[in-house]
Structures are given as C-alpha cells and as structure tokens.
Amino acid sequence: QPETTEAPAASALTTEALLATTTQDDNKSRSGLSKLDAAGYSVGYTFMERITKDRARFVEVLDIIKFICKEFWMEVFKKNIDNLRTNRKGTYVLSDNKFRWLNKLSASSSNETKQAATKYLLFPCGLIRGALANLGVAATVSGEISPSSPSCVFTIKVEQ
C-alpha cells in the first residue's frame, strides 16, 4: 500500500472538517454532526470495497466484525482493536485502548476534553457503518470515550 503522511491528513483534515461542518449550522449543529457521520460512511464504504476486493466472501457476521477489528483497523489506524466482546445477539463492543485520533487531544479539563473528543468519534462511527454496509450488514454504530482518554469503545448493533 502506498502511504502518505499522517499530519495533515487524519488529524488536521478531520479537525477542519469538524469545524467547518459544525460552525456552519450553529443553530442546528446536530445536522452538522450527522454530516461527519455521513462522510465517514461514504469513506468506509468505498475503502472496505477496495481492501476486500481480492478476498473470499465472508460467511458470518462475526467474521466481518473480526476483519474490521484486525485488517480494517490496521489499514486505517495502524493498530488492531484491543478487545472485542459480543452478546451473541447482534451486539458487538470494540475497544481501542489507544485510539489514534484522540491520542494528542487535550482541553483545559478532562471533562472538556471528553466533550470535545466525542465529536471525533462521529467520523469513525460512520466509517464502521459504511464498511459493514459494503459487506451487506446493516447496523447502527455508536462511540464512547472512556474515562481514561485516549481509549474509546465502539458499539455495533447489527439490525436483525
């Protein structure tokens, strides 16, 4: 895989996108935030298509989730998901103990950091949702910052 550099791309570019989308609709910033999720979705969808094009078809949803935890996460964030749990009823909980995009984030208090950082999870949530959709899995995805940032948890609920 060809590589370009991290600096402007992931961190600066997403920050700018974040500011641009959230400041545009000040009074309806919810829709500004949902745009980030939508952008993540389209990137995740296309990117998944590209990295799975030479692979055999997945048989079970669990295999797809595992693929996201390992290969997909590695391609996007250069590490694996640290922990995967499931209730075996369609809910999967993915923990990343050192999420790359939160790594260097800090505000004046830990509460403020948490608040600011939550927005940074919208794009990755969309990314996961898009990646799943490309393989035919409809799901809702939510993200949560753990008290000890930069770790965070993504919860995938597969629509049955």
Report the interface residues with another protein, using CB under 8 A: 1-10, 12-14, 16-17, 19-21, 24, 35, 38-40, 42-43, 46-47, 50, 75-76, 78
* 135-143 contacts, C-beta under 8 A, 24 or more apart: 135/48, 135/52, 135/58, 135/64, 137/61, 137/64, 143/118
3-state SS, residue 91 = strand
Query: What's the closest the beta carbon of residue 14 comes to another protein, in angstroms?
Result: 7
Nearer to another protein, 17 or 62 (CB): 17
Count the alpha carbons within 13 Å of 146 in the hemisphere toward its beta carbon: 16
How many of the other CB atoms lie within 10 Å of CB of 103? 11
